[in-house]
Amino acid sequence: MPAPSNDEALAIAFAAHDRAAFDKAYRAYAGLLYSAAYNVLGNGQEAQDCVHDALVRIWRSPQAYSPARGALRSFLVVCVRNEAISRRRRHGRRMQMEERLAAQPPEHDELPASDPIERDRVRSALAGLPVEQRLPLELAYYQDKTHREIASELQQPLGTVKSRIAMGLRKLAQALQPAAPADRR
């Protein structure tokens, strides 16, 4: 039986979660992995971060690679490319949300509270919510959109939208509770 080639030996050691093999694989393929990330992201720093994050994820999953699945080099390139695509999609969703927020009018004239003081309290409490909770609440209450419509517009899972609306409502209720009377002694 012939001795395994250097690539095969590296793949076997990498699959066995050998730290030295991991370092050797990084040194051998770093340029290729960086190129794969850069071609998707178009940014040098993002590409470096992408390679790092992909390799950390692989290291934390000892069963992720098996030599039977194919060449180590190909496996690493696919992992980095997938990480880069995920990063680009997240960035795109974040940019869309920021654009939607920028297009929103800064104030809402149709707050349900008729009392100006109460309306200001509601407006202030709503502004204090994180954007990922505030935006679905605004779409639901000011634009009368359903949870399903909001999920579609924000490109988020329906369960995520429902959870964020529920959490936002709890935070609003907490923020709008009347202040407890001061204890005088």
Indicate the residue type of 125.
A
Q: For residues 117 and 114, what is the distance between their CA atoms, to the nearest angstrom?
A: 9
Distances (CA, A) of 108 to 90, 97, 129, 168: 29, 18, 15, 17
CATH no. for 104-176: 1.10.10.10
pTM (predicted TM-score): 0.51
Q: What stretch(es) of the chain map to CATH 1.10.10.10? A: 104-176
For residues 166 and 148, is the Cβ–Cβ distance under 8 A? no
Q: What stretch(es) of the chain map to CATH 1.10.1740.10? A: 6-95
Burial-class residue 180 by CB neighbours within 10 Å (0-12, 13-18, 19+).
exposed
pLDDT in tens, the chain (185 residues): 444 567 888 888 888 888 998 899 999 999 999 999 999 999 999 999 999 999 989 888 878 888 888 899 999 999 999 999 999 888 888 888 777 777 765 554 455 556 777 778 888 888 889 999 999 988 888 888 888 889 889 988 888 888 888 898 888 888 888 765 555 55
Q: Which residue has the tokens 């080639």?
A: 5
Q: What is the architecture, at CATH level 2, of domain 6-95? A: Orthogonal Bundle (1.10)
